[in-house]
Structure 1
Amino acid sequence: MAQVLAVQGDVRHGFSYNCSFNHDFARITGLAASSNGNLVLCDHNNKTLILVDNIGNYVTKLNVDSEPFDVAITSQNVGYITQPNTRSVLQIDPKRMVVLSKNTCNDLRTTLTSTVKGSRSLVVNEMGNSYIYDYSNISTIGDNGHYTGNEGVCIGTGVVRTHTVDGQTYFSCTVGTNDIMIRKRGIPANINSAGKDSSITTIDTPTDICSDDNGHLYVSGQDSNNIHRLTQAGKVIDIALHSQHGIKQPVTMCFNKNYTRLYIVNDWGKSVLIFDVC
């Protein structure tokens, strides 16, 4: 498999294929790296969380009560798992793979979809709009006045995945468009922080966003079989990885905590590719 090497003197990372793995996955929809380098995978259809080491060797699994969709692990090594079908989120210890708590939203108009990578917040869809909401307060959704202060930041409609670098600016993939929405706290959802949404003509069906240690954004294109690299202003830098590197229907992705490896859930959730960062 081909390598993508960085240009000498360039701040862009290059990538070298390491390996791929699968463990009879039904459909992996989310993954995140823990502080010790292990990965937690959400096997949605099997209602299972799978723990693997940094090169994909199986460690253990945790059966959960509903289909897990997305996972984020904070710098304090606390994991958050969204379960949209039951409007709930699990807090887990990713080292021991045990559930610490479960928080459920009782508002039937609301769906908890994905985590916000880079934070302990969630994407909440309510009555057609998508909001950023803190994990600890999701049980208050539907109460009067809950879209105030730092809660309920509206980021648009139809959001699939969201990433933040600084906790103030949110980058989102949305259903049915090839645009990346850029929203800031304190700015209404109909006003783009960069003047307009970033439209990427060479991507089809963006599914996830993550960032490297240089602050560059990476966007997976499921139907275009590629990974784009963007500035935080939404400008395309290059196509970092594509079909010639084995990218096929990518679903989600993440870097490990020290940014030495990039993990990409590939082939509509059936396998995971590992690239070393160079």
Structure 2
Amino acid sequence: MAQVLAVPGDVRHGFSYIGQFNHDFGRITGIAATIKGNILLCDYVKKNLILVDHLGIVLRKLDVDSEPYDLAITSQNIGYITQPNSRTILQIDPDRMMILFKVTCNELSTTVFCVSAVPNTGRNLSGNVSCFLGVKIHGFSYGVPVNHDQICITDVPKNDRKIGSCVVRFHTVNEHSCLSCIGGQNYITFNETWGYPIKTCNIATMDTPTDICSDDYGHIYVSGQGSNNIHRLTDAMEKMRKIFYREQDYKVLDIPLDSHHGIKEPVALCFNQDYSKLYIVNEWGKSVLIFDVI
């Protein structure tokens, strides 16, 4: 596979292919990095969590009681796993693979489907919101904050943190805004204040976005499952927004990875904690690609 270099003069990363791994996965749907540099995976079909090292060697497996769909690991190294089919959330110590807490929603019309960690909230548990849970009520999605490490998914509409409808994944840019992938569509949405208006970000070269993450420069990466590529976006209006308080407008910088680099039906992606590696769940959840960040 070809090495992908950063464009001269621009503050952005390049990528160098390291390898891939496949441990007879059923279907990997979620991926996140731990503080120790390990990678945690959700195998939806086999109902287990898999902890691998930075090169994909299996360290531990943990069977769970339902299909794990999405996960996030906070700056405090606490993991949150969503199990939408059983309407449950697991809180775990990811490097020790120990379940710390489990929450079940008893409302049949409500489920927790995805989760996103808020970046840069510090190592110590504090009053900061460490992550947001994506909760669906009658098909509409809300971002529910995890504060002081407490999980509460009751009275969700009163929190008024609306994400939108038909959301399959979302990524918190900060405590007040998020980007979302919409099921069956070829665009992502931006929500600046956890409410309306929800702005549409059309990407002509992308088909079926499935996951979103960000690097240490603040660039946004979006996986295109149908287009077999990874897009890199930048907030072109950030400087103007700081001056005039205008809305953000995410623009495509480039397509750093595509089918020529082995990208095929990507499902999810993440950087490790020090942003030295990029991991991409590939082939509709059957393998994981590893790239060095250069």
Question: What TM-score range do you get, normalising by the shorter chain?
Answer: over 0.9
Pair 1:131-2:150 in alignment: no
Match of 2:169 in 1: 161
More displaced stretch, 39-48 vs 162-171: 162-171
| C-alpha deviation, 1:152, in angstroms | 4.1
1:69-99 Cα offsets, whole Å, 9 max, x none, are 0110011110000000111100001111010
Check 1:129–1:99 CA distance in 2 against 1; reply closer, same or farther (3 A cut): same
Q: What is the distance in 2 between the residues matched to 1:117 and 1:244?
A: 31
Give 5+ residue unaligned stretches, structure 1: none
Q: What is the distance in 2 between the residues matched to 1:214 and 1:29?
A: 26
Match of 1:122 in 2: 133
Equivalent pair of 1:180/1:234 in contact (CA under 8 Å): no
Question: Helix, strand or coil for the counterpart of 1:231?
Answer: strand
Match of 1:212 in 2: 215
Q: What is the distance in 2 between the residues matched to 1:234 and 1:205?
A: 18
1:100-134 Cα offsets, whole Å, 9 max, x none, are 00011111111211112434211111112111013
Q: What is the distance in 2 between the residues matched to 1:5 and 1:89?
A: 39
Q: What is the distance in 2 between the residues matched to 1:111 and 1:231?
A: 32
TM-score by length of 2: 0.88
Match of 1:9 in 2: 9
Q: What is the distance in 2 between the residues matched to 1:131 and 1:31?
A: 22
Equivalent pair of 1:50/1:62 in contact (CA under 8 Å): yes
Instruction: Name the aligned partner's letter for residue 207 of structure 1.
Output: T
| Equivalent residues in 2 for 1:11-50, closer than 5 Å | 11-50=11-50
| C-alpha deviation, 1:39, in angstroms | 0.6
Q: What is the distance in 1 between the residues matched to 2:153 and 2:291?
A: 39
Equivalent pair of 2:187/2:206 in contact (CA under 8 Å): no
Equivalent pair of 1:162/1:172 in contact (CA under 8 Å): yes
Q: What is the distance in 2 between the residues matched to 1:165 and 1:171?
A: 7
Question: Helix, strand or coil for the counterpart of 2:8?
Answer: coil
Match of 1:226 in 2: 229
> Of 271, 276, 280, which aligns to 1:264?
280
More displaced stretch, 109-118 vs 84-93: 109-118
| Equivalent residues in 2 for 1:230-245, closer than 5 Å | 230-232=233-235, 233-245=249-261
1:131-167 Cα offsets, whole Å, 9 max, x none, are 1013434342xx4xx433xx34001111111111222
| Runs of 4+ with >4 A deviation | none
Q: What is the distance in 1 between the residues matched to 2:42 and 2:261?
A: 24
Q: What is the distance in 1 between the residues matched to 2:189 and 2:257?
A: 22
Q: What is the distance in 1 between the residues matched to 2:233 and 2:153?
A: 35
Pair 1:147-2:161 in alignment: no
1:13-54 Cα offsets, whole Å, 9 max, x none, are 111001100111010000100000001100111010000001
C-alpha RMSD of matched pairs (Å): 1.3
Match of 2:102 in 1: 102
| C-alpha deviation, 1:10, in angstroms | 1.4
Give 5+ residue unaligned stretches, structure 2: 119-129, 236-248
Pair 1:252-2:263 in alignment: no
Equivalent pair of 1:104/1:139 in contact (CA under 8 Å): no
> Of 171, 185, 190, which aligns to 2:179?
171
TM-score by length of 1: 0.93
Equivalent pair of 2:135/2:153 in contact (CA under 8 Å): no
Check 1:179–1:28 CA distance in 2 against 1; reply closer, same or farther (3 A cut): same
Q: What is the distance in 2 between the residues matched to 1:226 and 1:51?
A: 26
More displaced stretch, 107-116 vs 83-92: 107-116
Q: What is the distance in 1 between the residues matched to 2:213 and 2:117?
A: 7
Question: Helix, strand or coil for the counterpart of 2:205?
Answer: coil
Instruction: Name the aligned partner's letter for residue 240 of structure 1.
Output: P
Equivalent pair of 1:124/1:132 in contact (CA under 8 Å): yes
Q: What is the distance in 2 between the residues matched to 1:138 and 1:84?
A: 16
Instruction: Name the aligned partner's letter for residue 96 of structure 1.
Output: R
